[in-house]
């Protein structure tokens, strides 16, 4: 379900069971699918008749949010379940390099001064990190994919690589999100949604979410847990 709704961005899932199969019925109902009807109609006494159910993407996100279930994105080995790549520990933080080999940009000559953000929607469910960098650098997602070297899920090291390439300055480390403190004017935020991790950009009071759009509030199903300040140059 998670892969279908989040990875493939399906709008709706359908499932059915033969009317006499009560075990399948319990499993489907436990997964919060909604009953749609009997097919063929008015044939519940027919042993081959099927009970049909459906679940929308919006219902999936809302139901998991309401349930209060906790989804950890980072396991004990430092592996991001979303990207399946090692996530850097705080003790392994490195200083920002001055220039990446082969890049026409540097800290002294960045790709641009960030004074506005043009929203970019992620092309697939695995490109939120690339889309955030594309918004910061004001380039295409395809270009960022080439810079990072992957069109799959990303970790912080991947984003650092792209920020260094474009000469965009960033704080040496991300910090734990504190609800009592205001967010920096410009930052990359790391969020948890039901079953997966997610990247977004915050700029001067607006959340630029590659999946959900632009809003003055974080998506209701998302929980911010890390904040990484980006300097506007």
pLDDT means per 10 residues, the chain with 233 residues, are 74 88 89 86 73 85 50 39 41 51 90 96 92 97 95 92 96 93 96 90 96 94 94 84
d(CA 37, CA 51): 6
According to the model, what pLDDT value does residue 102 have? 82
pTM of the model: 0.62
Residues 6+ apart with CB under 8 A from 221: 61, 62, 64, 65, 193, 194
According to the model, what pLDDT value does residue 49 have? 86
d(CA 87, CA 155): 6
According to the model, what pLDDT value does residue 174 have? 93
Q: Is 92 exposed, middle or buried (0-12, 13-18, 19+ CB in 10 A)?
A: exposed
d(CA 168, CA 153): 21
d(CA 76, CA 66): 26
Helix H or strand E encompassing 23? helix 22-30
Nearest alpha-carbon partner for 143 in 200, 170, 135, 154: 135
DSSP string, 136-174: HHT--HHHHHHHHT-SS---HHHHHHHHHHHT--B-SS-
Any idea which architecture 90-229 has in CATH?
Alpha-Beta Complex (3.90)
Sheet holding 34-39, edge to edge: 12-18, 50-56, 34-39
**Strand residues in 7-108 grouped as ranges (E):** 12-18, 34-39, 50-56
2-67: CATH number: 3.40.630.30
According to the model, what pLDDT value does residue 96 have? 55
Nearest alpha-carbon partner for 209 in 103, 127, 99, 138: 127
Tell me which DSSP letter residue 219 carries: -
According to the model, what pLDDT value does residue 57 have? 79
Rounded to 5 degrees, φ, ψ at 142 are: -60, -40
d(CA 157, CA 96): 11
Each domain of the chain, given as residue ranges in start order, spans 2-67, 90-229
d(CA 125, CA 1): 14
């Amino acid at each position: 379900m998670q892969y279908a709704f989040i990875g493939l961005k399906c709008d709706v899932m359908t499932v059915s069971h033969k009317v006499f199969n009560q075990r399948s019925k319990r499993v489907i109902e436990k997964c919060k699918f909604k009953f749609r009807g009997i097919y063929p109609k008015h044939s519940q006494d027919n042993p081959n008749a099927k009970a049909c159910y459906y679940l929308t993407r919006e219902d999936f996100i809302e139901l998991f949010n309401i349930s209060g279930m906790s989804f950890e994105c980072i396991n004990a080995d430092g592996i991001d379940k979303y990207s399946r790549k090692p996530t850097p520990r705080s003790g392994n933080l490195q200083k920002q390099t001055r220039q990446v080999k082969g890049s026409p940009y540097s800290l002294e000559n960045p790709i641009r001064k960030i004074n506005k953000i043009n929203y970019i929607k992620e092309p697939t469910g695995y490109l939120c990190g690339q889309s955030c960098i594309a918004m910061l650098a004001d380039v295409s997602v395809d270009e960022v994919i080439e810079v990072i070297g992957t069109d799959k899920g990303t970790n912080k090291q991947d984003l650092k690589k792209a920020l260094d390439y474009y000469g965009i300055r960033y704080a040496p480390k991300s910090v734990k999100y504190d609800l009592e403190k205001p967010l920096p004017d410009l930052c990359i935020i790391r969020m948890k949604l039901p079953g997966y991790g997610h990247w977004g950009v915050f700029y001067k009071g607006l959340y630029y979410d590659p999946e959900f759009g632009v809003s003055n509030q974080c998506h209701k199903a998302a929980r911010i847990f890390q904040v990484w300040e980006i300097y506007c140059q």
